[in-house]
Amino acid sequence: MTKPINYVIALAIIGVLATLSVMLPIYMDDLVYRVLMLSGIAVIMAVSLNLINGFTGQFSIGHAGFQAVGAYVGAALTVYGHNDIFGHLPKDGQIGTGWMSLAVGAGPMVASMIAGGLAAALIGYVVGLPSLRLRGDYLAIVTLGFGEIIRVVVENNDAVGGPRGFSGNLDLGVSVPAITNFFWVFGVAIAVILFARNLRFSISGLQYLAVREDEVAAQAVGIDTTRTKVNAFVIGSFFAGVGGALFAHYEQTILISSFNFVRSFDFVTIVVLGGLGSVTGSILSAVVLTALPEILRSSLGAQFNQYRLVTYALLLIVMMLVRPQGIFGRGELSIAKLRSKSKKYATQ
Amino acid sequence: MKHLHTSVRKRGLVFGGTDMNSTVRVGWMSALAVATLASLGVGGCKAPKDGGAAGETSTKATQNLDVKAIKVGEYSSMTGETATFGQESDAGIQYALAEINAAGGIEVAGKKYPVTVELQDDQSKPEEAKTVAVKFASDADIIAVLGEVASSRSKTAAPEYQRAGIPMISPSSTNPDVTKVGDYIFRVCFIDPFQGYIMAKFAKDELKLSNVAVLRDPSQDYSVGLADAFIKEFTAMGGKISTDVSYKASDSDFRSQLGQVKTTNADGVFIPGYYGEVGTIARQAREIGIKAPLMGGDGWDSSELVKGAGGPGGALEGAYFSTHYSASETSKRVQDFVAAYKKAKGMEPAALVAQGYDAMMILADAIKRAGSFERAKVRQALAETKDYDAVTGRITLDENRNANKSGVVVQIKGDKFVYTKTIEPKN
Amino acid sequence: MDQFLQILINGIQLGSVYVLIALGYTMVYGVLRLINFAHSDVFMVGSFVGFYTCGWLKVTAQKTVFAGLVQLLPVLLIAMAACVLLGLVIERFAYRPLRRAPRLTALITAIGVSLFIEGAAQLPFVFGVNPKFYPEILPFGPDSTIQAGGITISKHQLVMVVVSAILVAVLWYIVQKTKMGKAMRAVSHDFDAAGLMGIPTDNVIAFTFSIGAALAAAGGVLFGGLTFKSLLPLMGVQMGLKAFVAAVVGGIGSIPGAMLGGLLMGISESFIKGAPHIKFGATDFDPSRWTDAVAFMILILVLLIRPAGLLGKNTPEKV
């Protein structure tokens, strides 16, 4: 039984998020707002990937493919379902960011997130199945391969625009609606973080960690390792799909070329830099790696731009050489630990 | 047990927990993240819009009309997959900029103002193009924006400019959807349907072809758009498409697809791709015995084109492609431009260079005609662009804000692209 | 039948470039259990170095294949030498410190090195982003093909296959008949035991990287000089991905596996691209649009049936 205080806290959080969702677009600089939103989506992607790579120790480098599935399925639903289901949305998809739009966009957003998430989870299940027979690096290639297969499928599908991108259907006159807002992005991000945290310290979570540490031993003590690994894929890809749906309805134009293995590597980099298995690490890493390039762009100016890739790569290499386990390693940031540390130093 | 030992040794602590060094780094990392967020937050406030209803998306930054220098934004793919094209387009824009400023700047209401261009690289990524668009949209000094080369990125960024009321001019995006975004979005090139028509008409009327094979790259917006347009127009004229096969621009061997083409006895092959791969395709086509004429679009237009085909006189000899202008055109405008550019930069301008140049010049002309820095007035002047004598043709911006101008078909002879025919737009 | 043979020959030629690159991936994986993502960029660097060498040595089109080969040889050697150096530097400074680190960490570093080389290559004072084309070396034009019945074989294709075969044969000799080769095999079988037996593992690994890099460089020069495709800083990405898949399909860590995988990928790709359209009713299915997807589906299928690749050894985990 959840304590009543938890319900109050949940309502309070929802209230704060909703208020911020209405206020921020008005008061916050547009560029900063965009970076904030992209960071939020990056957090969702990073934490969901951490479930697969960090908690269960698997080697998934095709995460962008799950995001793509979520994005395309979610967008296809709101576009092609417009006339029958979402008729209350304007055809050009612009609903604004006030209190009314929060209500108006809620239904389609939730529907598209669930559809996108489930579709991605299904693909995640299919991708996770080979984990039955494959280990480590081989599984990695398979995950990469699925990403590429998804790309080719989308490129050859004119209903979602093929290589030209999907921004709606011209014949129907319907655009992909702009229903993603701060509330949904950060609401989902918080949900994913809480889910991961609770999972970590639950029995299932311990099973995940056991599989990561030593699969043979885990099996020996009776853990169904295949089931655990497939579960990790399904859950991780579900949230990736949700992140994709959020992304699609924020950008309003999605291009399959964005969801390539370079994007997958970006997610893996975020997770490894933050520390495999550390949710806090993923959060901080996602925010820093999304926001820092924009800050540098603003402050450094155009002529440094050609050095951007080289600098980023060097930072990556140095980071891995200096602290290979990532910033947080396996650990998490928690108030209790900080308190006990400070007490420890205080008594000396 | 060796496996267990090595796994523990290699993987460190079994179950998480922060060790002492971790705490220090944790603090450092959190501080960095907090600092990042803080700097975002501090730099991130803006005054609430005047009288804005809470329901509006607020991206209109009121334009600063106290202008000392005319500020133009440019977003281009200077790095990444389409870096070649982004840099070529930028070269044209910078060349035009130098020319304008050498003459003192743009004359607005009797006074000349210098022009500055703020260039932002979008790394060939659509999200970056949008982020740059958001950045430019909140810049009160920017009067108009030039970009992007690729239709996909133009399409992603255009809604931001439309919402912010900043005119956007694309030098070379050919997908018809781009300008459909809104009345602030323009382009100074023709669109895929027209270019498909040019080559279809030429193939049918001039080359008398009736059974043409098409080679497309399904992962490229431009290739798919032009291939589809050609097929539509050619079949509408009564022609037949012998086969439609796909390749990838990164491939090095096209012989298998070309073998397929050969079996269909095509009397012509249309390859709407880019000059990086076309030379190789042509070479291999000739090698396996395809003698039919080869045709292409403006993606072929580069002085490097024939190198892949064995140089002048090689596999592309005699092939045709549609483009905006021919350096061998006798028009004085073209001749002067090519000569001057060659003298300044040491090489002939590629088509994209000329298009970037024209985009900047047409914008300058519109600002002058508008006699004002106001975005809406500049937009109006742009929409009224008529018979502008550009390097890439006589340009009129039609009611869809696309360039209404004729296309040119050239033939490759040696290392020159010889003017062959002008094709007028249908209407 | 002619068509079939033609496609087969195309496939073998295509496969030979994949083989050269796949060998590098597989050997490094064999000794280090590391996927060297930077390998595809070594291929790219080799191609560019070869291009600049052609300019420096003033390489021009020759009348006979033999004369062309004589010109090609120094270009190959210089490119290979340059890439061996590059490979050694990468191994020494980026990978060696991470020998004992978790797998994903080494992977990230490899990705970092790859991005670094790509980023550096795009800089205007390095290679720049404009496409470059090799000069003609072998005879071209009407002289460039050999007709055998209904089949046309381009001399360029022939040279590529033959030179690749020679390089692979040299590799085979090194691995099977020399002491260093034996050491390489020992290290890939069991790293720690090899060290205990007195094998200088660091040297062996450095040597492995060198050979892999040399082969990739050769692949790059052959690719640029014989296909005349434009050279771009990002050209290694797609080639590397396909070659890597080839190595895995063949069984990563196995040299004959890389050869088999490379040829298999090349031939299957050739057949899909050359397949006629399948028409049923109103729909027209073009197989060549699905080339990439099919390549990966083959990969997944092979791995499901033989999890360690076609020729890979499925080493059971001992507890």
**Tens of pLDDT along B142-194?**
999 998 999 999 999 999 999 999 999 999 999 999 999 999 999 999 899 99
Q: What is the mean pLDDT of residues C211-238?
A: 91
Distance CA A340, CA B256 (A): 69
A136 to chain B, any CB pair closer than 8 A? The answer is no
Distance CA B175, CA A162 (A): 13
Distance of CA C146 to the CA centre of its chain: 26
pLDDT at B121 over 80: yes
Instruction: Provide the 3-class DSSP secondary structure of residue B17.
Output: coil
The whole-number pLDDT of residue B59 equals 45
A290 to chain B, any CB pair closer than 8 A? The answer is no
- What is the token pair recorded at B200? 């279809």
SS3 content of chain A, % helix, strand, coil (to 5): 75, 0, 20
pLDDT at B38 over 70: no
Distance CA C249, CA C232 (A): 27
| Number of other CB atoms surrounding residue A335 within 10 Å | 7
Residue type, A172: L
Distance CA B383, CA B397 (A): 6
At residue A1 the predicted structure's pLDDT band, cuts being 50, 70 and 90, is low
Torsion sign (Cα): B126, B127, B129, B134: positive
**Closest chain A residue by Cα to residue C29:** A137
Q: What is the mean pLDDT of residues C229-257?
A: 90
Q: What is the mean pLDDT of residues C195-211?
A: 92
C112 to A313: CB separation less than 8 angstroms, yes or no: yes
- Residues on chain B touching C3 (C-beta within 8 angstroms): 259, 263
At residue B427 the predicted structure's pLDDT band, cuts being 50, 70 and 90, is low
- What is the token pair recorded at B143? 């009067």
Give the contacts of C34 (CB within 8 A, at least 6 positions apart). C28, C95, C103, C106, C107, C110
Of C7, C230, C291, the CB nearest to B308: C230
**Tens of pLDDT along C253-285?**
888 999 999 999 999 999 998 888 888 777 778
Do residues B115 and B101 lie in contact, with contact meaning Cβ atoms separated by under 8 Å? yes
% of residues, chain C, pLDDT over 70: 97
Distance CA B212, CA B204 (A): 10
Selected residue with higher pLDDT from C215 and A26:
C215
Do residues A85 and A167 lie in contact, with contact meaning Cβ atoms separated by under 8 Å? no
At residue A185 the predicted structure's pLDDT band, cuts being 50, 70 and 90, is very high
At residue B57 the predicted structure's pLDDT band, cuts being 50, 70 and 90, is very low
Do residues B364 and B345 lie in contact, with contact meaning Cβ atoms separated by under 8 Å? no
Q: What is the mean pLDDT of residues A279-306?
A: 83
Of C29, C105, C308, the CB nearest to A272: C105
Do residues A44 and A246 lie in contact, with contact meaning Cβ atoms separated by under 8 Å? yes
**Tens of pLDDT along A104-137?**
888 899 999 999 999 999 999 988 887 667 777 7
Which of A152-161, C5-14, C74-83 has the highest average model confidence (pLDDT)?
C74-83
First to last CA, chain C: 54
Largest CA distance in chain C: 69
Beta bridge partners of B120: B75
pLDDT at B51 over 50: no
The whole-number pLDDT of residue B10 equals 36
| Number of other CB atoms surrounding residue A239 within 10 Å | 29
**CB contact burial A298-312 (16+ within 10 A = b; e otherwise):** eeeeeeebbebbbeb
At residue B56 the predicted structure's pLDDT band, cuts being 50, 70 and 90, is very low
At residue B422 the predicted structure's pLDDT band, cuts being 50, 70 and 90, is confident
A329 to B16: CB separation less than 8 angstroms, yes or no: yes
C10 to B259: CB separation less than 8 angstroms, yes or no: yes
Distance CA C105, CA C101 (A): 7
Interface of B with C in 243-282 (CB under 8 A): 243-248, 250-257, 259-260, 263, 275-277, 279-280
Considering chain A, what is the average pLDDT of its residues?
86
Q: What is the mean pLDDT of residues B387-415?
A: 89
Residue written as token pair 């060097």: A314
Selected residue with higher pLDDT from B175 and C3:
B175
Distance of CA B107 to the CA centre of its chain: 28
| Number of other CB atoms surrounding residue A80 within 10 Å | 17
pLDDT at A175 over 90: no
Do residues A136 and A142 lie in contact, with contact meaning Cβ atoms separated by under 8 Å? no
pLDDT at B47 over 50: no
| Number of other CB atoms surrounding residue C193 within 10 Å | 11
- What is the token pair recorded at B361? 């010049």
Instruction: Provide the 3-class DSSP secondary structure of residue B220.
Output: coil
pLDDT at A191 over 70: yes
| Whether complex ipTM tops 0.90 | no
- Residues on chain C touching A216 (C-beta within 8 angstroms): 317, 319
pLDDT at B81 over 90: no
Of C104, C248, C296, the CB nearest to A149: C296
Distance CA B172, CA B390 (A): 14
**CB contact burial A29-40 (16+ within 10 A = b; e otherwise):** bbbbbbbbbbbb
Distance CA B75, CA B213 (A): 36
**Closest chain C residue by Cα to residue B313:** C141
Q: No. of H helices and E strands in chain B?
A: 13, 17
In three-state form (DSSP H/G/I as H, E/B as E, the rest C), the secondary structure along chain C is CHHHHHHHHHHHHHHHHHHHHHHHHHHHHHHHCCCCCCHHHHHHHHHHHHHHHHHHCCCCCCCCHHHHHHHHHHHHHHHHHHHHHHHHHHHHHHHHHHCCCCHHHHHHHHHHHHHHHHHHHHCCCCCCCCCECCCCCCCCHHHHEEEECCEEEEHHHHHHHHHHHHHHHHHHHHHHHCHHHHHHHHHHHCHHHHHHCCCCHHHHHHHHHHHHHHHHHHHHHHHHHHHCCCECCCHHHHHHHHHHHHHHHHCCCCHHHHHHHHHHHHHHHHHHHHCCCEEECCEEECHHHHHHHHHHHHHHHHHHHCCCCCCCCCCCCCC
Predicted model pTM = 0.88
A58 to chain B, any CB pair closer than 8 A? The answer is no
**Tens of pLDDT along B244-286?**
999 988 888 898 899 889 989 999 999 999 988 999 999 989 8
Which of A120-129, B106-115, B304-313, C17-26 shows the lowest per-residue confidence on average (mean pLDDT)? B304-313
Do residues B293 and B412 lie in contact, with contact meaning Cβ atoms separated by under 8 Å? no
Q: What is the mean pLDDT of residues A290-318?
A: 81
pLDDT at B14 over 60: no
| Number of other CB atoms surrounding residue C296 within 10 Å | 23
The whole-number pLDDT of residue A348 equals 45
At residue C292 the predicted structure's pLDDT band, cuts being 50, 70 and 90, is confident
Q: What is the mean pLDDT of residues B373-391?
A: 92
- Strand ranges of the sheet holding B240-246, from the earlier edge strand across to the other edge: B240-246, B211-216, B268-270, B294-296, B320-323, B407-413, B416-423
- How would you classify residue A318: left for phi > 0, otherwise alpha for psi between -120 and 50, otherwise beta? alpha
pLDDT at B61 over 70: no
- At residue A23's C-alpha, the angle toward residues A20 and A24, to 5°, is 75
Distance CA A329, CA B22 (A): 8
Beta bridge partners of B32: none
Give the contacts of A89 (CB within 8 A, at least 6 positions apart). A78, A82, A95, A104, A105, A108, A177, A179
| Number of other CB atoms surrounding residue C112 within 10 Å | 25
Which of A220-224, B262-266, B314-318, C48-52 has the highest average model confidence (pLDDT)?
C48-52
**Tens of pLDDT along B388-401?**
988 888 899 999 99
Strands (E) across A50-194 are located at 168-169, 174-175
**Closest chain B residue by Cα to residue A23:** B54
- The DSSP element (H or E) to which B115 belongs, if any, is strand B115-121
B250 to C6: CB separation less than 8 angstroms, yes or no: no
**Closest chain B residue by Cα to residue C3:** B259
Interface of C with A in 64-123 (CB under 8 A): 94, 97-98, 101-109, 111-116, 118-120, 122-123
For C199, how many CA atoms within 13 A lie in the half-sphere containing its CB? 24
- What is the token pair recorded at C167? 């390089």
Burial of C3 (0-12, 13-18, 19+ CB in 10 A): middle
Residue A72: φ, ψ to 5°: -70, -45
pLDDT at B53 over 60: no
pLDDT at B2 over 50: no
C94 to A317: CB separation less than 8 angstroms, yes or no: yes
Residue written as token pair 């704060």: A16
pLDDT at B211 over 90: yes
C154 to B287: CB separation less than 8 angstroms, yes or no: yes
For residue B262, what are the CA distances in angstroms to A234, B214, B257, B265?
Answer: 47, 12, 9, 5
**Tens of pLDDT along C90-116?**
999 999 988 888 777 888 899 999 999
Torsion sign (Cα): B240, B243, B248, B253: negative
Of A153, A265, A308, the CB nearest to C293: A153
- Residues on chain B touching A302 (C-beta within 8 angstroms): 118-121
CA of A148 vs chain C CAs: smallest distance (Å): 7
The whole-number pLDDT of residue B204 equals 94
Residue type, B149: V
**CB contact burial B124-159 (16+ within 10 A = b; e otherwise):** bbbbbbbbbbbbbbbbebbbbbbbbbbbbbbbbbbb
Considering chain C, what is the average pLDDT of its residues?
88
pLDDT at A100 over 90: no
For C314, how many CA atoms within 13 A lie in the half-sphere containing its CB? 11
Do residues B115 and B72 lie in contact, with contact meaning Cβ atoms separated by under 8 Å? yes
**Closest chain A residue by Cα to residue C121:** A310
